[in-house]
Amino acid sequence: MELAGYAGASTGGHSAVRLLKDLDVDIDGRHVLVVEDVVDTGLTLNFLVRTLSFRHPASVAVVTLLDRPYRRLVDDLPVRYVGFTVPDELFVGYGFDVDERHRNLPDLHLARSSDQI
């Protein structure tokens, strides 16, 4: 699945989530593991979990590399496996980027600003 979150005038300034790509397989009765890079507010993940639940999976669990539970706006997310609980800071490397830069670094770096990387 592919989701996109956005905020704008059409949503009254609030965040909304759009489904860009749906599943190609039936998940009825199957155990589903959602792999996330970062879980912050949980708004997008909540949309995803609710969308998946309409398809009657046996279970849904989430694994995330980085977790920021203190930023949650949604309770009861099935985040079961967490790599690291991190502060509200910007990380680059290992696939994370700032303005499309530093994504290719082989490990995570804490960036105070985009000039300090």
Letter for the amino acid at 33? L
Asked whether 68 and 39 are in contact (CB, 8 A), the reply is: yes
State the DSSP code for 48. H
> In whole angstroms, what is the distance from residue 52 CA to residue 55 CA?
5
What would the two tokens of residue 65 be?
A: 């590399």
**Residues designated as active site:** 40
- Residue 79, beta-bridge partner list: 62
